[in-house]
Amino acid sequence: MPDRFPASTRVPHLLHGGDYNPEQWIDSPEVWDQDMRLMKLAGVNIVSLGIFSWAMLEPEEGRFEFGWMDTILDKLAANGIAVNLATPTGAKPNWMAAKYEEIRRCEPNGRRDPQQARHNHCYTSPVYRAKATLINTKLAERYGKHPALVMWHISNEYGGECHCPLCKAAFRRWLQNRYASLDALNHAWWTTFWSHRYTDWSQIEAIDSGVHGLVLDWKRFVSDQTADFMRHEIEPLKRITPEVPVTTNLMGTYPVLNYWKLAEVCDVVSWDSYPEWHVGDLFDMAHGPAFAHDLTRSLKHKPFLLMESTPSQVNWNKVSPLKRPGVHRLTSLQAVAHGSDAVMYFQWRKSRGSYEKFHGAVVDHVGHENTRVFGEVAALGGTLKKLDAVVGGVTDAKAAVIYDWENRWAIDSEAGPQNQHKAYEHTCRQWHRPLWQRGVTVDVNDMVQDLSPYQLVIAPMLYMLRPGVAERLESFVQRGGTLVTTYFTGMVDQSDLCFLGGFPGPLRKLLGIWAEETDALPEGATQSVEATAKGAAFGLSGSYQAMHFADLVHVEAATCEVLATYGSDFYQGRPAATVNRVGKGRAIHIAARTEQRLLDDVANKLIDSLALPTALKTTPPTGVSVQRRGEGKDAHLFLMNFSEREQKVTLDAGNYVDIETSAKHTKIVALPAYASFVLLHE
């Protein structure tokens, strides 16, 4: 049983709480006592403590002040509130930045950053690493056995890159390790082009955006170096408190870091979710976190933690509407529905000054509990207490969408026929969306994960094929899997070197096609994709609009059938969608970018023909997301109305009970605007 509680065996409940910065109120300790009272009222069972407290823990070099933190941890423990204790490296004290220049990052042009803001230390600097080791060791020694400690929050939102001399040298070592010789590197990066051949490692600068292999390797290095820094941070914690899990707060699809590398270093994965609620259509907006929740859960294939979210509004967007009544509960339960074992906030209490004084918080400047936001948070705390049964469990996914950081980097950096609308991430989301709307549990994986759990794998724009990927996709299809690929697939290897002998390179045989050319459609120009009679078996009918990308493909395999053809231009009648039957499975290829309707039609047909498990047999109305979490008798049904009007959802046969109100439901449930219900099948 304990391994059903990945976050911490010490808190076998959904975690509810958030970033807590009591050091900002050190001169008004009565606020600390108010915090304890209010936290209990709000149903808070955990806080993330000390994230930006280095200057208060080590006010001058080598002088440590833990007194305030001792008091806070004791108060929290006495009030039954657990602590997710942070290592404070997300922001460095001024004295440190002034004394040790090397800990400050350099820009690509070599200029050293002044001390300002946060999240801007060098990941390579031995001084910063030593300082981190020292403070982390002291924290672990002092609080390792404290009853409040249940988790380590490592740093904060790792991100960015540094071009200092130390990082450059580390990059060159990383390259020597990868390539062994400059000849191998020159080949991989195709440096004979523009006379870029390197004759000495010291000539390598990570700023030549025209050398795509270099761009990719630099990004890989930045991810590796960040993970290495994190490993370094964790080392004393694991040595002193091996039983305390570590996490770090990720940021969804944050493009700079390959989160699979950071996930390897974490015991539990967590992320910070800040969609622009109410700026656009709420249901469209809700799909963003749905995709990111699925991605974050997939990093470990077990529950994750929603580490930060705002209970009301943020302060860093152009405009930040308030979450409408009910929407905070709705968006929080959405995270739980997708596998989060926590609903946590930035921030517990609004700070009095500086940049985040107007960022949403559970406790506002007014300082008491009689606010709308506090009321909604407290009510949600009550709801979460009734959901112990979901903790630690996830629904097994039978479908996966591939979203791969390295592929993204390669697509973002290549210069090709369509540079205006590459939209890799958007395309991955578009394929995920129909599955989400049907309530299919979907994993979002990178391209090197095991494919054996899945019946359906959708791999949009798989431009780069890392080693072994084509082989794995082929055996997935051979064994009976259904694969969907698209235009701009199978073009380069892991160094961004084009596959010779015809695209889609190593996937040519599996897909049964040769993609001879790629047409790029200018802004506003369209093509059409016309379903053939055979297309009906894959959901295609009539005509669809195409834009941006249109691959001109030839069918090569006798087993390959044409599902749609182009409707106009000189390639009218040529294949625009195909299926190749290989072994026990099928490989479907969509050769053009089209309107969402085609993706919906294909995905819906595949859900039906593969009988993929859906949360409900019927499709929820647009605006409503229904997700199932858990298996068997623990399967909780989350009904979430992301629209401003009442919606009706048709349940499967049987009796359902609302876990909060004990109301019974059969057949049709009416969901008021923004309502969210959690039901159990009786």
Contact between 23 and ligand GLA (CB under 6 A)?
Answer: no
Q: Which of 122, 246, 286, 603 binds Zn ion (CB under 5 A)?
A: 122
Number of residues that bind Zn ion (CB under 5 A): 6
Question: Has 308 been annotated as catalytic?
Answer: yes
CA separation, residue 267 to residues 151, 243, 273, 325 (Å):
10, 10, 20, 35
Indicate the SS3 state at residue 624. Answer: strand
Site string for ligand GLA, 302-341 (x = CB under 6 A): ------x-----x---------------------------
Give me Rg for the CA atoms of the chain: 26
Strand pairing of 664-665 and 676-681?
unpaired
| Spatial separation of the C-alpha atoms in residues 12 and 9, rounded to whole Å | 6
Indicate the SS3 state at residue 517. Answer: strand
CA separation, residue 659 to residues 613, 674, 677, 680 (Å):
23, 18, 8, 7
List, as own/partner pairs, every contact residues 626-629 make where C-beta atoms lie below 8 angstroms and the sequence separation is at least 24, other chains included: 626/439, 627/334, 627/337, 627/338, 627/439, 627/441, 628/337, 628/395, 628/439, 628/441, 629/336, 629/337, 629/338, 629/339, 629/390, 629/393, 629/394, 629/395
Helix (H) or strand (E) holding 600: helix 596-609
Among ligand GLA, Zn ion, none, residue 404 binds (CB under 5-8 Å by kind): none
**Residue given tokens 């595949």 in the structure block:** 606
The torsion of the CA quartet 95, 96, 97, 98, rounded to 10 degrees, works out to: 50
**DSSP secondary structure code for residue 299 in this structure:** T
Catalytic residue, chosen from 308, 406, 425, 530, is 308
Among Zn ion, ligand GLA, none, residue 272 binds (CB under 5-8 Å by kind): ligand GLA
Give the nearest distance from C-beta 107 to Zn ion in angstroms.
Answer: 11
439, 626 Cβ separation under 8 angstroms: yes
Contact between 359 and ligand GLA (CB under 6 A)?
Answer: yes
Site string for ligand GLA, 101-140 (x = CB under 6 A): ----------------------------------------
Contact between 232 and ligand GLA (CB under 6 A)?
Answer: no
Closer Cβ to Zn ion, 59 or 165, answer by number: 165
| Spatial separation of the C-alpha atoms in residues 206 and 221, rounded to whole Å | 10
Sequence-distant (6+) residues with CB within 8 A of 1 are none
Closer Cβ to ligand GLA, 120 or 156, answer by number: 156
Among the residue ranges 59-67, 154-162, 296-304, 609-617, the one whose residues contact Zn ion (CB under 5 A): 154-162
| Spatial separation of the C-alpha atoms in residues 289 and 331, rounded to whole Å | 9
Contact between 156 and ligand GLA (CB under 6 A)?
Answer: yes
Closer Cβ to ligand GLA, 113 or 356, answer by number: 356
Q: Which of 45, 124, 223, 249 binds Zn ion (CB under 5 A)?
A: 124
Give the nearest distance from C-beta 25 to ligand GLA in angstroms.
Answer: 17
Give the nearest distance from C-beta 427 to Zn ion in angstroms.
Answer: 34
| Spatial separation of the C-alpha atoms in residues 658 and 637, rounded to whole Å | 9
CA separation, residue 561 to residues 187, 196, 578 (Å):
38, 45, 5
Among Zn ion, ligand GLA, none, residue 217 binds (CB under 5-8 Å by kind): none
Among the residue ranges 160-168, 175-183, 322-330, 381-389, the one whose residues contact Zn ion (CB under 5 A): 160-168
Q: Which of 162, 290, 521, 587 binds Zn ion (CB under 5 A)?
A: 162
- Residue 344 CA from chain centroid, whole number: 16
Site string for ligand GLA, 34-73 (x = CB under 6 A): ----------------------------------------
| Spatial separation of the C-alpha atoms in residues 571 and 409, rounded to whole Å | 31
**Residue given tokens 């015809």 in the structure block:** 502
Contact between 164 and Zn ion (CB under 5 A)?
Answer: yes
Give the nearest distance from C-beta 350 to ligand GLA in angstroms.
Answer: 12
Q: Which of 272, 364, 414, 551 binds ligand GLA (CB under 6 A)?
A: 272
Q: Which of 23, 35, 58, 157 binds ligand GLA (CB under 6 A)?
A: 157
Closer Cβ to ligand GLA, 249 or 486, answer by number: 249
Closer Cβ to ligand GLA, 156 or 455, answer by number: 156
Give the nearest distance from C-beta 157 to Zn ion in angstroms.
Answer: 18
Give the nearest distance from C-beta 166 to ligand GLA in angstroms.
Answer: 26
Catalytic residue, chosen from 157, 161, 425, 530, is 157
| Spatial separation of the C-alpha atoms in residues 185 and 289, rounded to whole Å | 39
603, 639 Cβ separation under 8 angstroms: no
Contact between 136 and Zn ion (CB under 5 A)?
Answer: no
Q: Using CB under 5 A as the criterion, which residues of the chain lie in contact with Zn ion when the complex forms?
A: 122, 124, 162, 164, 166-167
Residues marked active site are found at 157, 308
Q: Using CB under 6 A as the criterion, which residues of the chain lie in contact with ligand GLA when the complex forms?
A: 156-157, 272, 274, 308, 314, 346, 356, 359
